[in-house]
Amino acid sequence: VHAANKVSGIMGAVDAEDTSYIVISHNDGISVGDGVFRNYSVGSGLSSPTVHDMASAGDLWFFATDSGLTVFSAVPGPSGQNPFDYVSNWQRIYMSAGLPDNDLTCVAVTPWTVWVGTRDSGLASADLSALDTWQVYTKSGDSSLPSDAISDVVYDPIGDSVLVGSDCGVAVLNGARFT
């Protein structure tokens, strides 16, 4: 099996100029295109070649990897360069910046927040405009999270709620607590 053939996710996203892309994540980074695809990995700016999940909020794209969160700003370079080739568009976020663990399993965005789940260290969230300040939710904390082994996190725009999948079932965020 070729690593690029082991797909972990497919996402539609747009850049700052409203150009649409298809992004395919796999165990060798991401492939981005709209018919013709280019591959991007650690050398481009991903924190790891193994991408478990992806999400986007406008021209901010998030990649949950087994070595931290990568945030990509899909904005062309100062001279109109391809946004993927402009190194300043890639940001890596690790435990040292407030994540509960670098081994991330999932990522989701709401209109105001990014959420990441970990394999065994709970869940974390940050305001989209302040990615250097993370709120961590764990089973042993005050949040009533049922487990620290997070398998998925999604935003329900109709109910305006965050749902978290874990090895102990589904929890819904109500205020600052999960039920």
Question: How many angstroms separate the CA atoms of 174 and 11, rounded?
Answer: 28
CA distance linking residue 14 with residue 102, whole number of Å: 27
**Which of these, 90, 114, 80, lies nearest to 40 by C-alpha position?**
90
Question: In this model, does residue 1 exceed pLDDT 50?
Answer: no
Check whether 80 has a pLDDT greater than 60. yes
CA pair distance 145, 171, nearest whole angstrom:
7
Structure tokens at 41: 């990995």
Note the pLDDT tens digit of each residue in 54-76.
999 999 999 999 999 999 999 98
Specify the DSSP element, H or E, that contains 13.
strand 7-14
Q: What does the radius of gyration of the chain's CA atoms come to, in whole angstroms?
A: 16
Rounded to an integer, what distance in angstroms lies between the CA atom of residue 51 and that of residue 68? 10
Give bridge partners of residue 130 from the DSSP assignment: none
**Residues 6 or more apart whose Cβ sits within 8 Å of residue 11:** 22, 23, 25, 54, 55, 56, 61
pTM of the model: 0.93
pLDDT tens digits for range 128-143? 999 999 999 999 988 8
- Measured distance between the N- and C-terminal CA atoms of the chain, rounded to whole angstroms: 41
Lowest mean pLDDT among 13-17, 22-26, 54-58, 75-79: 75-79
Chain centroid, CA 79 distance in Å:
28
Residue type, 132: D
